[in-house]
């Protein structure tokens, strides 16, 4: 009888410890969730606050409304929709070109054997070790001097900004693509060659459909990174009509940041809508691409 009582007490203590451990984990998870969600709630509150200033903002605004959004959309000196479309255009073109070049380069490095292959791969990896900001001054001078000869690749031009973005995104993306391609069996290529298929037919008809998970991941990461980039766009773009959304909002706020905080928050939330739509629409593909690559690697 005493042994059963001791066993019962042991089970009770284990159950209490388990519940206590679960409770501690839930508390920690709630703290981290609050830490992540609070900035978003603060921005939403600022965008709905009728005062529109940073000094008088509260988490729950009095008499909330959409006045800041209407002010943002009605401004003539600060064309929000022009900045918004510029960001979408630059991010879309950069992602499409980067994805095309990355896929072809990754296939070449994975399937072909040529002189200097390992050296080029190591050079790409070495270049990505250094932060892009180290080359900011050199990039500015290069684009400025090239623009004197070729104006369409000069300063205050979207095409030159896209070229700079492409150069910065190639290295790591080529390594990701090559790593994923290395996991695809070469038996597929050899079987197709026996049937008389060319390298281009093997790539487009057999290999490319298998690359869908990593293509989605690289494309989305490129799009998000380019869409939210600020430093290069601020340095290379000069006119109000050429600004991206991030640069335009920063110019708009400027020295009057505290007074224009509400309108700035409204613009930031509206600018985040495309990224939110992309994540909600393609979240399964994103997770699938990352996990498949991790398992196969």
Give domain limits for the chain.
Answer: 2-69, 79-256
Quote the pLDDT of residue 294.
42
Q: What is the mean pLDDT of residues 231-251?
A: 90
Q: Do 53 and 253 form a contact (C-beta atoms < 8 A)? A: no
Quote the pLDDT of residue 4.
58
Task: Using pLDDT thresholds of 50, 70 and 90, give the confidence band for residue 18.
Answer: confident
pTM over 0.95, yes/no: no
Decide if pLDDT at 296 tops 50: no
Quote the pLDDT of residue 64.
83
Task: Using pLDDT thresholds of 50, 70 and 90, give the confidence band for residue 94.
Answer: very high
Decide if pLDDT at 120 tops 80: yes
Answer with the residue of higher pLDDT: 88 or 198: 88
Of the listed ranges 12-16, 138-142, 268-272, the one predicted with least confidence: 12-16
Q: Which listed CATH number (3.40.50.1110, 1.10.3720.10, 2.40.160.20, 3.40.50.20) goes with 79-256?
A: 1.10.3720.10
Decide if pLDDT at 227 tops 90: yes
Using the CB atoms, write b or e for 252-277: b if 16+ within 10 Å. bbeeeeeebbbbbbbbbbbbeebeee
Contact residues for 260 (Cβ-Cβ < 8 A; gap 6+): 52, 252, 253, 254
Task: Using pLDDT thresholds of 50, 70 and 90, give the confidence band for residue 7.
Answer: low
Of the listed ranges 25-34, 206-215, 276-285, the one predicted with least confidence: 276-285
Percent of the chain with pLDDT over 90: 16
Quote the pLDDT of residue 297.
40
Task: Using pLDDT thresholds of 50, 70 and 90, give the confidence band for residue 270.
Answer: very high
Quote the pLDDT of residue 295.
42
Answer with the residue of higher pLDDT: 7 or 295: 7
């Amino acid at each position: 009888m005493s042994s059963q009582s001791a066993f019962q007490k042991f089970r009770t203590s284990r159950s209490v410890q388990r519940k206590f451990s679960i409770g501690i984990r839930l508390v920690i998870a709630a703290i981290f969730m609050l830490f992540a969600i609070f900035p978003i709630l603060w921005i939403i509150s600022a965008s709905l606050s009728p005062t529109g200033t940073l000094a008088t903002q509260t988490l729950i605004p009095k008499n909330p409304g959409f006045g800041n959004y209407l002010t943002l959309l009605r401004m003539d000196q600060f064309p929000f929709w022009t900045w918004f479309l510029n960001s979408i255009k630059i991010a879309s073109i950069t992602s499409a070109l980067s994805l095309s070049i990355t896929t072809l380069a990754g296939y070449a490095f994975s399937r072909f054997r040529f002189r200097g292959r390992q050296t080029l791969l190591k050079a790409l990896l070495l270049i990505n070790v250094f932060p892009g900001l180290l080359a900011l001054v050199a990039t500015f001078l290069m684009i400025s001097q090239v623009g004197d000869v070729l104006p369409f690749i000069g300063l205050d031009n979207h095409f030159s900004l896209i070229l700079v973005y492409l150069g910065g995104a190639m290295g790591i993306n080529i390594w990701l693509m090559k790593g994923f391609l290395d996991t695809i069996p070469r038996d597929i290529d050899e079987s197709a060659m026996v049937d008389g298929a060319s390298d281009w037919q093997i790539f487009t008809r057999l290999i490319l459909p298998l690359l869908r998970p990593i293509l989605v991941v690289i494309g989305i990461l490129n799009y998000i990174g380019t869409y939210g980039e600020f430093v290069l766009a601020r340095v290379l773009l000069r006119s109000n009509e050429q600004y991206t959304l991030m640069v335009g909002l920063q110019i708009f706020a400027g020295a009057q940041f505290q007074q224009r905080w509400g309108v700035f928050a409204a613009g930031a939330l509206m600018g985040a809508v495309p990224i939110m739509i992309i994540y909600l629409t393609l979240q399964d593909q994103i997770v699938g691409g990352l996990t498949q690559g991790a398992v196969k690697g």
